[in-house]
Amino acid sequence: MSNEQHPFPHVEDHAEDGNVDLEKQEGPDGRVRSPGGTPQQTHKKKEGADGAADGQGEKRELKEFECYDKLGYNFSWWKKWGIISVIFLVQTSMNWNASFYASGITLYAKHFHISEQAARVGQMAFLIAYAFGSELWAPFSEEFGRWPIMQLSLFFVNIWQLPCALAPNFGTIIICRTLGGLSSAGGSVTLGMVADMWEPEHQQWAVAYVVLSSVAGSVIAPIVGGFVATFLDWHWNFWIQLILGGFAQIVHFWVPETRCSILVTREARRRRKAGEMVWGGDEIKGKRLSFRFLSLVWARPFIMFIREPIVLWLSLLSGFSDALIFTFLQSYTLVYKQWKFSTIDIGLAFIP
């Protein structure tokens, strides 16, 4: 244009350097116009008093690096190892349940008039269910926190000990042992707590400590089990499991939450009370306890099992090692009975 006034003076000033869109420009009234066209409502975001963008409903998410000092990574050395020591006890109690049962095989067979081979079905049922129980609880601990999931798991594990101890027939023991295995959260949650408190490059000692608890529970149980099977009734096999499990749950009750997403949400709520309008990722995403949501959460590890080769192979390795360990534990009785070892002697053979 030569002598005519341009309807958008700021366009004419900057058109030559290519920094302005000639198709749509924002006019002085705050509306988006096309030259010669009809004004349109602007898409500019205006922040409201609540920190959200008007019209869009967007909220500012609080990131982990913004509250790093509130996360488990920043716990003191004593606090981290205190928590992990409690987890050591919890993991020991769960693996104790898996192997302590075997000490009473002869007693179950005699009381319920079944063969010793049939009595071992209770051991098998627990171990198979335990494998699925770990995958059942772990994904929910990432959504709802480690503490409530572990407390719920321990509660159900302890509950199922009662009908086992009072079982009128062996079928009751098999059913309740299966449910007890499904209720066991196991290493899938306890190792998750290691990841909550240590960065990947510093996790090795904590991981080794938690893994040691799995071995400890499986080995200590038959040592004690030999004395229990010799001097006490078969009911005490389950009563002692309940006593240890109850003690572990009481101690775990005082353990703080470590899951990062939960701690971020708590910090976001605290900051909102102080006037800073931020939200945790879980708050923005929202959680609805629908069947579809629960199904997707539970299916997550199985989807990873199929799609992620490293998850598949490490799971197969873990399963093989567990099968090897418990087959080895069961073989002690068969081997040492050849040399007339008593039940106590067989249990003490686990010490070396």
Show contacts of 75-84: CB within 8 Å, 24+ apart.
75/197, 80/197, 80/198, 80/206, 83/193, 83/197, 83/255, 83/256, 83/258, 84/193, 84/194, 84/197, 84/206, 84/209, 84/210
Please report, for the chain, the start and end positions of each structural domain, with discontinuous segments joined by +.
64-348
Fold of the 64-348 domain: Growth Hormone; Chain: A; (1.20.1250)
Is pLDDT at 16 greater than 90 in this prediction? no
From CA 213, how far away is CA 178, in angstroms rounded? 22
For the stretch 193-233, pLDDT in tens is: 999 999 989 999 999 999 898 888 888 998 999 899 999 99
From CA 126, how far away is CA 112, in angstroms rounded? 19
**Structure-block tokens of residue 26:** 């924002």
From CA 244, how far away is CA 335, in angstroms rounded? 29
How crowded is residue 138: how many other Cβ atoms within 10 Å of its Cβ? 23
Q: Is the pTM of this model over 0.85?
A: no
For the stretch 72-118, pLDDT in tens is: 999 999 999 999 999 999 999 988 998 899 888 989 999 999 998 89
From CA 277, how far away is CA 255, in angstroms rounded? 29
Q: pLDDT tier at 54 (50, 70, 90 boundaries)?
A: very low
Q: Amino acid identity of 11?
A: V
Residue 150 and residue 201 in contact, taking contact as beta carbons nearer than 8 Å: no
Q: Measured on CA atoms in the order 312, 318, 321, 322, is the torsion positive or negative?
A: negative
Q: What are phi and psi of 23, to 5 degrees?
A: -80, -45
Please give the pLDDT value at position 57.
Answer: 58
Choice among 37-51, 138-152, 207-221 with the minimum mean pLDDT? 37-51
> What CA dihedral angle connects 237, 239, 245 and 246, to 10 degrees?
-170
Residue 160 and residue 176 in contact, taking contact as beta carbons nearer than 8 Å: yes
Instruction: Give the closest residue to 163 by CA, choosing from 183, 182, 184, 179.
Output: 179
